[in-house]
Structure formats: C-alpha cells, structure tokens
Structure 1
Amino acid sequence: MLVAVILDLLIGDPKSLPHPVQFMGWIISFLKGLTEGIKKENKSKLYIGGLIITLMVVSLSGISGWIIERLFLFFDTKNPILSTLIFAFVLSSSLASRSLNKSILEILNLISKEIHSENLRDLRQKLCLIVGRDVENLDTNEILRAAAETASENSVDGIFAPLFWMFLGTIFWEFNQSMPGPLAMAWIFKSSSTIDSMLGYKEGKLKWLGFTGAKLDDLMVWIPSRIVLITLPFCCKTNQSIYKTIRDSWKDGIVDSSPNSGISEAIFAYCAEVRMGGVNYYKGVKKIKPIIAKSYPIASINSVKKILNLSLRLQLAWLLGFSLIMKLINLLI
C-alpha cells in the first residue's frame, strides 16, 4: 500500500500507458449507446438499463482486479520484489494525488504571472479540464475558488475514497486471500466513480440512465468523506478546537445537495481557513452553492496550496493509522 502511494506521488499516470479508467469509459460509452438505442424514452426501461450497466461495469472491473491479484499472489512467491513493484504500480493507477496536484499547480503558476487576456484564456482552458462548471466568464478570484473547491472535493473522490477501499481489501486478505483484495476493491470504486462522472447528470435520458451509478458512487464515498471530516483537523493548526472545526464543517457541508462533496469541501475550507461556495453556472444554468466558512477570506494561491499540503499530510496520517490497524488485526488473529 505504501509503495503504491509513493509511486502515485512520484510517477502518477504515465500518458504513454493505457489507464484502467479509459477501458471502463469505453465500456460505459458502448453500453450507454446500446441502452439508449433500445430503451428510447421509456423512463422505467432506462432505469433498468442503467442498473444493468452499473452491475456489468462494476462486476467486470472487480473481477479484472481479482484476476490480477491472483497473478500477483502466484508470482509473489517466486519473485517478491518485482511482483510487488508491478502490483503497486497497477494499484497506484487508482489514486490521483500527483495528477490533481499537477493540474492545480499549473493553474496557480499561471495566476502568479502577470495576468492578461491570453493568460486568462489559458487559465480557463486548464480549469475546464478539472471542473464541471462553466469557466468562460470566470475572473482570477473565481478561478482560485474553483481550484480550491475542486482540490478539496477531488482529494476525497480521487485519493481518500480509493485509499479507504484499498485498505478494506487489504483487511479482507488478512482473513482470506481468495476474497477481493485492494486492487479489486479499488477498481470497483473507480468503476462506480467513472459511471457517475459519465452518466450521473440530472438531465435528459441520463436522469434515469445514470441514477444507479450516481447513487452507488455516493454510497461508496459516504464513509471515506466522513473519515476525512474527522481526521483532517488533526493534520492542521487553526485558531479553534478540533471539535469546533468538525462541528462547523458538518454544519456548513451537510446543507449541500450532494451528500459528500459539501462535507469534503467544508472540512478542507475550515482547515485551510478559506471561504468556499457561491454562484456557479453549469451549461448556462445558475446554481447557488451554500457559503462555507464565511468568516474566512476568499481563496488565494497560498490557501489553495495549503489544501494540497493538507491532503498530502492526511495521506501519510492514514497510512500510519492503517499500519497500526493491521498490526492490531495480526495480533488478534
């Protein structure tokens, strides 16, 4: 697990190699087109079609991960160092720490330069790759807010949620190595996340087709987001107590329409001492998100960097905590 996290931080996702999420995306796109062609505008059938897509993609992803785990366990006895490195590299593909940091830092570096029309255009183009909101009319302050919010939310979705499921798969192995392990559980999560990102929109046919995938993704992020809520305050220094930080974050985050993203943004907002929320536009439609941590200043380059640093500290804290849990389990069994 530690090797996988280190590889993700150092190497990330090499663009020359195919990524598992790409294969998931191809399968989802194919099944989406097939289902829409068959079910037409029938809501009930689209619900069922979305359920079938979710079951097929999640099952195929989990089984693929399980097969790779069987190969790893077989070759681990013959060449433990090489097999562990290869397995850790494959496992690291489920984490997004380096890619998230790189994307955010590119935006921050552009902002730190002199702002002119061409620079602002580049900023918006880079931002649109990592956010779902409309970026055409965003100024520098709004770009920084978007960067802070996506760094917070994606830290949970792209780092801590898959880490949680990897941890759970590793615990499964302690009891029976025939069970789904860290890779199978991570790929099950990544498949649900990919389905949600591709189909989980409340518009047109996707309102029904993506319903099951979106709910599954919400369910799989529900526990990790709340563990982040409880553990992140231990990695930061603020002017208020840990209890108050958690309480205020919960109070601000729970009113968000998403059961997880509001909490994810809120705890990072209070720990990094930066205000989030406000007016966003999605495909031209205005959406007002609740203001989070309103007593703190608006996002700046330093506060966004602080969010990235907090995410790194929490990763290390989770790894330490997990190693202690594993030692306790080994003592008990």
Structure 2
Amino acid sequence: MTLILGMLLDAVLGEPRWLWSRLPHPAILMGQLVGWFDRHYNSGQHRRLSGVLAMLVLCALAGASGWVLHMLPGQIVDIVILAILLAQKSLVQHVQAVSDALRLSLGDGRRAVAMIVGRDTRDQDAPAVARAAIESAAENMSDGVIAPIFWFAVAGLPGLLIYKITNTADSMIGYKTPRHKAFGWAAARLDDLLNLIPARLTALLIWLVTNRPDARAIIAEAPLHRSPNAGWPEAAMAHGLNVALSGPRCYAGQIMDYPFVNDEGERTLEPDHIDQAVQVLWRTWALALLGFGAIALL
C-alpha cells in the first residue's frame, strides 16, 4: 500500500513549486554531496580507486539514511519520500512543454527541449526537437520512474536512496571526460548495474501498452544503443509509436553519427508524436501501478 500511495501522490502533486522554492530538494542535496566528493577527492594518481571509495561511502550514507527514516513510526515518511523521489508528473510536464512550445515556434521548442536533454539544440529542426523529447521521455521513464519504484519494492527506502544517489552521481561524474573518466567509473558502472532490470522492465511495459510491435526488433536494436540500458525503453518507444529515434545529433559542437532506432519508422516528427509519447508515459505508469500494486498486496 505504501508503494501505491507514493506513486499516486507523485502523480497528483508532482514537484510543487511553493515547497521547493522554500526548501532544498533532496535531489539537490544529493548533488551537492556528490559535488563535494568530486571537488575533494578527484585528484592524484589513483582517481579510479578514489571514485570507488567515494561511491561506497555515498551508498552507505544513503542506505543508512533510508534505514533510519524507515524506522520512524508510521508509513507516512516512506510514502512522502517515495513521492518526492519519483518523477512521473514532472517528466510528463517537461515533455508536454516541448510539444506545446513547438506548436508556438521552433525557437520555443528548442528552448523547451534544452531543459531535458544534454545535446546541442540551437540548430535543431522541428523533427529533431520532437525526436529529442520522445527519447528523453523513454529514457527518463526508466531512470526517473520505473527504476525508483523497482528498488523501493525490492529494498524499501534504503534501496530507493542508494539508487537515487547512484543515479545522481552518474549524471554528474559518470562521463568519459578527462576529468571524470577515472573518478566517475564506479558511479557509471554501478548505475548501469542498478538499471539493468528496470530498463528492460520499462521496455516490456511500453511494449504492453502500445501496439505490441515485433519484440524481436526491440531485442535486436536495444543493444546497439550507446548505453547498455537506455536503448531498451528507447527501442520500445520507437517501435511502439512507429517512429525513428536516436540518429545523428550534436554534443559540444561535435556531430555524433548514431544510427537510427527503428530506421523505417516515421522521421518527420511533430508535436502530435510527442503527445502520443506522453500518453504512453501515463499508460506505462498505470500498468506499473497495477503490477507493483498487485505484487505488494500479495
């Protein structure tokens, strides 16, 4: 019941501005903690070892914090923290904002999608803006919704907080840049491990709530993605909507010639396609609510 109530609370309230304009969001605090370790220990000749030790400490702190919070009387703390650390409504709002902005103008669409993707958006055409929004919807459905739900179901608040600190660390230091290639190695590998099951579960849920495309195509194309996990929900979304995702894009001024996922799908994407992706997000969430809820009740 805790899981169900937490999911419902997030879906209804999302990220209330009146609250987080007055208090620091837990994700911000996690980011500050990761940043502190990065500033103080990402140096010297043993950066990979330092990164491993940093992740061990961060996970221990997160797990211990979750255990202490779970020991508080009643279930309200678990419900509230789960709702805070889920991102269903905020994800939907950010993706829908791209669709709404793109209907106003290409410039508005570019500015809206820049809020949710890391690629260069300044020179994107309208189909590229829509494609980026749909890819973000698929990937973040796994990272921001299904994975937190999964780890809460498996290990309660300790599991949820360990997952979130790892995911936060990966988003900050898990890049193969000169500064973070060694120090962020442990964060990136642990994030890959913790998302192994949720990413594939997300793909299954998306497959079930769309037109059930050929699963063999999803299984064949998902491993071709540059990420060992993000390719699964992305491939499921691409085939579920019959659109081509991924493909060439620009990062820091450098063109990356990635192959298309569902190469034969529609490439001239429009705001309507983003709207369809938003509908898939809600249907996927609803199926997850039923599935995890049934397991929790049993």
Which TM-score bucket, shorter chain as reference? over 0.9
1:145 aligned residue (125, 131, 134): 131
Are the equivalent residues in 1 in contact too, given 2:70–2:157 (CA < 8 A)?
Answer: yes
Structure 1 stretches lacking a partner, 5+ long: 77-82, 170-181, 329-333
The residue number in structure 2 matching 1:125 is 111
Residue 256 of structure 1, CA deviation: 1.4
The SS at the match of 2:249 is strand
- Report the counterpart of residue 232 of structure 2 in structure 1: 263
2:164 paired residue number: 190
Please give the per-residue CA displacement for 1:202-236, whole angstroms capped at 9, x wherever unaligned: 11120101000000001111111112223322212
Q: For residues 260 and 111 of structure 2, what CA distance do their matches in structure 1 show?
A: 26
Residues 221, 235 of structure 2: 8 Å contact kept: yes
**Of residues 165, 185, 195 in structure 2, which corresponds to 1:211?**
185
**What SS does the aligned partner of 2:247 have?**
strand
Aligned residue pairs total: 291
1:9 aligns with 2:27: no
The aligned residue for residue 62 of structure 2 is: 61
**What's the offset of the Cα at 1:327?**
4.3
Q: List per-residue Cα deviations over 1:232-276 (Å, max 9, x = no partner).
A: 2221225x4xxx2x2111111111121011112000111122110
Give the equivalent residue in structure 2 for 1:322.
292
SS of the residue corresponding to residue 207 of structure 1 reads coil
Match in the other structure for 1:286: 255
Q: CA RMSD in A?
A: 1.6
Q: Distance in 1 between matches of 2:98 and 2:226?
A: 27
| DSSP 3-state at the match of 1:281 | strand
- The gaps in structure 2 that reach 5 residues or longer are none
1:23 aligns with 2:29: yes
Q: Which moved more, 1:227-236 or 1:104-113?
A: 227-236
Corresponding residue for 1:247?
A: 216
> Which residue of 1 is the match for residue 38 of structure 2?
32
- Matched residue type, 1:2: I
Matches of 1:209 and 1:253 in 2, distance apart? 28
What amino acid does structure 1 have at the position aligned with 2:48?
Y
Corresponding residue SS for 1:132: coil
**TM superposition score normalised by structure 2:** 0.92
**Counterparts of 1:56 and 1:291 in 2: how far apart (Å)?**
39
> Please, what TM-score do these two structures have when normalized by structure 1?
0.83
* Corresponding position of 1:175: none
Q: What is the Cα deviation at residue 324 of structure 1?
A: 2.9
Amino acid at match of 2:168: T
1:268 and 1:151 mapped to 2: Cα distance? 9
- The percentage of aligned residue pairs carrying the same residue is 29
Q: Considering only CA atoms, is the larger Rg found in Structure 1 or Structure 2? A: 1
Which residue is 1:179 aligned to?
Answer: none
Q: Tell me which of the two structures has the higher relative contact order, counting C-alpha pairs closer than 8 angstroms and 6 or more residues apart.
A: 2
